[in-house]
């Protein structure tokens, strides 16, 4: 058998060794799998494929040393995992800004033109854009090392995701070895895992036949399948993959444009969607958007919009990024699906910071692929503006196809004698007065976390969350019980819990309780940025917590800081500074910090650095290759500690490139642009002053 993609097969004969036979079977099965799952053009009957597969499986069972990392037999799943490990993305998986109206598209084009130095008056030069579908699935990073599939990770928070390698192996359209004789040393393929509508229908039929719970929509089914700890379950569910971007690339030249990148992927056997276009100017963007919108229901898979990208990579680099999103791309979302239902009641929820949010309790309605029973009404001003009342027939929309919201009341269907909704004067949880600051649209419970159980639960759950102290097993249900039974009042009480107090709670046993205690002990070793974030200071997110830690280097110095001192911290403005001062002005919050430290919560000492005068202040650095002694995470932390910013790509705005062994295209580009290249030794020397 001659195989164009995988090379010529070995001659078959009686003297054929087991090693040669296994190699031939792998090549044939991989070719047939590619024909079937990627090209949709099978060349042999299923029964013949199954016969070849069984032959290879038997051979590998008899001779385990013959099994390779790209063997088709790995697609059936392996032993269940105890949990998913974490993977740090070498290049962040950032999200896109969204557009919903035509004007958003014209504004996007206008910003791109301005960023590239094209004047409004220049009507002869239109930017070329690549358009792809926006799939309704899960973003995934696939890493290939020397052409062989090595690892897969979810997007996670954009910087760290979950290792789902074993589950991704079961997706038959994803090649376990790239179809090329000259693979890159490192290739991170970005794309979407999804479930086709027909596969979704078959899965739900199997669930019904087995008496199991049906999935609400293909995206939920794909997410549930991908997050199975037992990859054999994932293998039984037909997942698909489409590539749409790139992360790290080493040992090969980056194609000149987005469209050329996807064509390169296709040549290497990586699935790409055929529904695409290259156009010029905003009007052509909108024309393609409407074409796709018209045939959306006819597609084999769910989409929720299209994605526009400046096609050329050199122009993308010139445009760069803003915040956590690229300037060169935007997602144009389809109008959210809407439905009519009835408002049964309007209740208020109390959030972690005391924010009072009215919520409409609705007669169940199926909209946007899920059954909706609750919808946010945002705040009192929003309810009054929309004049939503109990008993109203309302239009419900899943905003961005995610968050259910009430769009408007249908006045002609309003029953007689309905009453205008008024926000309660007292908190429904603790009875404290509800206050509304003059400069805010949101009313808040004045009780605070000590008096208000809802705020207390929110604060405790935030403290235990993954981005804060990351206390495994300490979820919302367990925290609710601990608060309701008055076992825990502040986060410091977590570290006073005993085995019996936990074991006596609902759905807990001695082993589960011990696991929580072990997780609490592990959580004591943390970092100062995580600790600051875990305190739940209003307006202080992860990024601000990191800046505060680098600036003050000590929690005592932070607690003692006044507004003027806080305003010297990177990205801290008057609102944030006032919030921090107000938080530590409360003696109970200061006492909480002291109790947590007394309980054993600790972190490595941080050397205080004045970032404004640091060696890399205002500088952008790029890491490439393998450094002799520092990991990428350690090198990034060192650069940030000395005022620098770490970027994933080289551009004219890059000040330094730190290169190690096997540095690839980034090093070549740095030399082309005349950017200073540093070794690890030189980086350490600069940081040492």
- The helix-helix angle for 542-552 and 632-641 (nearest 10°) equals 60
| Joined tokens for residue 398 | 């899943």
| Joined tokens for residue 556 | 């005592």
Contact 430, 424 (CB under 8 A): no
The span from the CA of 162 to the CA of 157, in Å, is 10
- Residue reference for tokens 């062989």: 148
Q: What is the DSSP string of 601-639?
A: -B--------TTTSTTTT-EEEEESB-SS--HHHHHHHH
Which own/partner pairs from 13-18 qualify as long-range (CB within 8 Å, at least 24 positions apart)? 18/59, 18/62, 18/63, 18/66
Contact 507, 550 (CB under 8 A): no
Contact 128, 278 (CB under 8 A): yes
The span from the CA of 394 to the CA of 407, in Å, is 7
- What kind and span of H or E run contains 340? strand 338-350
Count CB-CB contacts under 10 A for residue 627: 21
Q: What angle do CA 395, 398, 404 make, to 5 degrees?
A: 80
Nearest residue to 369 (alpha-carbon basis) of 343, 409, 339: 339
| Joined tokens for residue 394 | 């309302």
- Residue reference for tokens 């087991």: 18
Count CB-CB contacts under 10 A for residue 12: 11
| Joined tokens for residue 209 | 């036949």
589: exposed, middle or buried (Cβ count in 10 Å: 0-12, 13-18, 19+): buried
The span from the CA of 375 to the CA of 358, in Å, is 9
Nearest 5°: phi and psi at 435?
-120, 155
Count CB-CB contacts under 10 A for residue 471: 24
Q: Which of 23, 54, 67, 134 is catalytic?
A: 134
Catalytic residue list contains 666: no
If you ran DSSP here, which 8-state letter would residue 344 be given?
A: E
Contact 325, 96 (CB under 8 A): yes
Contact 499, 469 (CB under 8 A): no
Radius of gyration of the chain (CA): 28
Residues taking part in catalysis: 134
């Amino acid at each position: 058998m001659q195989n164009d993609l995988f090379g010529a097969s070995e001659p078959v004969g009686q003297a054929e060794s087991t090693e040669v036979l296994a190699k031939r079977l792998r090549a044939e099965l991989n070719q047939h799998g590619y024909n079937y799952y990627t090209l949709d053009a099978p060349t042999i009957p299923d029964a013949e494929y199954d016969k070849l597969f069984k032959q290879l499986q038997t051979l590998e069972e008899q001779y385990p040393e013959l099994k390779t990392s790209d063997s088709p037999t790995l697609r059936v799943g392996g032993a269940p995992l105890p949990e998913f490990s974490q993977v740090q993305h070498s290049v962040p998986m950032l999200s896109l800004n969204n557009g919903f109206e035509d004007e958003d598209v014209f504004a996007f084009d206008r910003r791109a033109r301005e960023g590239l130095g094209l004047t409004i008056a220049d009507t002869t030069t239109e930017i070329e854009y690549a358009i792809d579908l926006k799939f309704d699935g899960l973003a995934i990073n696939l890493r290939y090392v020397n052409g062989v599939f090595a690892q897969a990770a979810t997007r996670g928070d954009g910087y760290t995701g979950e290792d789902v390698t074993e589950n991704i192996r079961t997706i038959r359209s994803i090649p376990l070895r790239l179809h090329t004789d000259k693979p890159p040393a490192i290739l991170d393929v970005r794309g979407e895992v999804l479930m086709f509508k027909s596969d979704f229908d078959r899965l739900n039929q199997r669930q019904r036949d087995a008496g199991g719970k049906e999935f609400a929509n293909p995206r939920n089914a794909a997410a549930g399948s991908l997050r199975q700890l037992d990859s054999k379950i994932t293998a039984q569910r037909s997942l698909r993959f489409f590539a749409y971007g790139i992360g790290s690339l080493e040992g090969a030249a980056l194609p000149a444009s987005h469209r050329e990148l996807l064509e390169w992927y296709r040549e290497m056997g990586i699935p790409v969607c055929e529904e695409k276009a290259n156009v010029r100017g905003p009007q052509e963007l909108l024309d393609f958007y409407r074409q796709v919108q018209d045939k959306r229901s006819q597609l084999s898979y769910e989409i929720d919009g299209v994605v526009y990208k400046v096609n050329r990579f050199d122009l993308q680099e010139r445009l760069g990024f803003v915040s956590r999103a690229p300037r060169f791309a935007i997602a144009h979302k389809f109008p959210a699906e809407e439905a009519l239902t009835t408002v049964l009641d309007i209740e208020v929820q109390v959030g972690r910071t005391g924010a009072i949010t009215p919520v409409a309790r609705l007669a169940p309605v199926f909209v946007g692929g899920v059954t909706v029973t609750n919808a946010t009404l945002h705040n009192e001003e929003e309810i009054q503006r929309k004049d939503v009342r109990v008993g109203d027939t309302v239009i419900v929309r899943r905003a961005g196809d995610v968050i259910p919201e009430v769009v408007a009341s249908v006045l002609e269907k309003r029953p007689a004698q309905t009453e205008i909704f008024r926000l309660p004067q007292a908190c429904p949880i603790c009875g404290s007065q509800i206050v509304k600051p003059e400069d805010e649209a949101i009313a808040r419970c004045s009780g605070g976390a000590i008096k208000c159980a809802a705020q207390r639960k929110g604060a405790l759950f935030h403290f235990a969350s993954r981005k804060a102290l990351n206390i495994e097993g300490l979820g919302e249900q367990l925290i609710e019980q601990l608060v309701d039974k008055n076992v825990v009042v502040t986060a410091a009480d977590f570290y006073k819990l005993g085995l019996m107090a936990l074991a006596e709670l609902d759905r807990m046993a001695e082993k589960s309780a011990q696991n929580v205690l072990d997780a609490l002990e592990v959580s004591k070793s943390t970092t100062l940025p995580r600790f600051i974030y875990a305190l739940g200071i209003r307006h202080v997110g992860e990024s601000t917590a990191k800046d505060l830690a680098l600036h003050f280097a000590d929690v005592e110095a932070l607690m003692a800081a006044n507004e003027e001192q806080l305003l010297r911290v990177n990205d801290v403005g008057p609102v944030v500074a006032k919030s921090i001062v107000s938080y530590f002005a409360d003696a109970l919050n200061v006492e909480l910090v002291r109790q947590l430290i007394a309980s054993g919560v600790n972190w490595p000492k941080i050397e205080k650095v004045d970032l404004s005068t640091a060696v890399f202040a205002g500088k952008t650095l790029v890491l490439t290759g393998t450094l002799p002694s520092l990991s990428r995470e350690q090198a990034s932390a060192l650069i940030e500690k000395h005022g620098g910013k770490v970027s994933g790509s080289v551009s004219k705005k890059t000040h330094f490139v730190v290169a190690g062994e096997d540095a690839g295209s980034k090093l070549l580009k740095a030399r082309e642009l005349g950017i200073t290249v540093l070794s690890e030794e030189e980086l350490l020397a600069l940081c040492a002053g």
